Amino acid sequence: MPKITAQAEPESARLTVRIAQVELESARLPKRIAQIEPKNARVMARIAQVELESARVPVRIAQVELESARVPKRTAQIEPKSVQGRRKSLK
């Protein structure tokens, strides 16, 4: 059993890399899936997993957009405090 788990770890590491590539190239993904013609069940299962992962990608991008939208508000709140700090130091 330990040998099997040792072999499974590099495979899971490759999966993580593949998922990262899917996130970076999510725009090209539908074309690639359309071109692939699966001939066995394992390939079909992998495509199904990729489709699920690509469905999660827009959610992650949307979260990043929300976070970036919050940043200007935070910087706007920080600026008045720093100005008040300078006024106190001048007095």
The residue whose two tokens read 């072999």 is 7
- For 34-84, write each residue's pLDDT tens digit: 555 555 556 566 666 666 666 666 666 666 666 666 555 555 555 555 555
**Per-residue confidence (pLDDT) for residue 59, from 0 to 100:** 62
Q: How far apart are CA 9 and CA 58, in angstroms?
A: 28
Task: Read off the pTM.
Answer: 0.19
26 SS3 class: coil
User: Which amino acid, 29?
Assistant: L
Confidence of residue 1 (pLDDT cuts 50, 70, 90): very low
